[in-house]
Amino acid sequence: MNVPAKWTIDRAPDLTGRVAVVTGATGGLGYETACGLAEKGATVILAGRNPDRGAAALARLQGRVAKARARFMPLDLASLTSVAAFARDLADQVSSLDILVNNAGLMGAPIRQETADRFELQFGTNYLGHFALTARLRPLLVRASGGGRVVSVASLAAWRGRVVFDDLQSRHRYTPFGAYQQSKLANLIFALELDRRAQSAGWALHSIAAHPGWSLTDIAVSRSDAPQGVAERLMRRLTHTAFRLLGQSAEAGARPILFAAAGAEASDGGYYGPSGRGERRGRVADARVPPQARNLPTARRLWEVSERLTGVALS
């Protein structure tokens, strides 16, 4: 255990002069993470799909954090073209990147949908979009003083996930939460494999993972007004009730993410989450890694497949 008791962002080092990108920063965990990094002096780039929500989130952040250095940049992780454009624009604005928080995500889209590149929406947005983003931002990350940190946000859902290589895009069988579980397991596998490769190749890069426990947020469930069946509506109501009664706020859920992004004690290849029962809520602590996330052949195959699907090499 290397997490100080009752860790909060107040215990993190000063981040003045550091640059951080937080995906999905217009609400929920991403917004709380952006606020925490801004409080410590970082220049924070709120990356999100909706410019109106971005402007509103930026205004809220600037009202909450005095003298915040922050701006919004458009990023649609469901479009590899948008990912590439974001990386190009960022490279024109900064010479290095200290912190990348791969947080944005969709959960439980009621019917199967696809990204602009014809990936299943949750796998494409939650995982492949972040894989491509990290690959394209690696030149900036390795230029950061001491090496940039890449934080991959996983989920307790990873415990029930499995990577179905024969049907990664859920074309033959789709279930709303099965696709979500696969995407979040992939995020965790990616974080651990990125650490192994960075260590082996000597990259000036630090890969760390975190999960928020059961955090009551406004995570989107769909990018359209697709109808939800009775089973989907019931599952969503039950999930909302469980998270409200047994979980925690978005601010509390962001603490493990902030520890991974800014904590002096966070370890390369570490995984952090809440300390309470079932890791659903509580102070920041080391999180348990699902056995399937430690499978090396799966990690290597997923990496190779991800490079092929995104057309971006991260090696």
Provide the CB-side half-sphere exposure for 57 (13 A, CA). Answer: 31
| Residue 180 falls in the annotated catalytic set | yes
- Residues 6 and 12: their CA atoms lie apart, in Å, by 12
DSSP state, 145? T
- Residues 178 and 157: their CA atoms lie apart, in Å, by 9
Q: Which structure tokens are listed for 100?
A: 């990348």
Helix/strand/coil for 10: helix
DSSP-assigned letters across all residues of 167-201: GTT-SS---HHHHHHHHHHHHHHHHHHHHHHHHHH
Query: Of 31, 127, 174, 180, which one is the catalytic site residue?
Result: 180
- Residues 4 and 1: their CA atoms lie apart, in Å, by 8
Helix/strand/coil for 71: strand
Query: Bridge-partner residues for 43, per DSSP?
Result: 19, 69
Provide the CB-side half-sphere exposure for 285 (13 A, CA). Answer: 16
Query: How far from the centroid of its chain's Cα atoms is residue 108's Cα?
Result: 16
Long-range Cβ contact pairs of 288-295 (< 8 A, separation 24 or more):
289/188, 289/192, 290/158, 290/159, 290/161, 290/185, 290/188, 292/161, 292/162, 292/163, 292/185, 293/158, 293/185, 293/188, 293/189, 293/192, 294/192, 295/189
List active site positions: 180
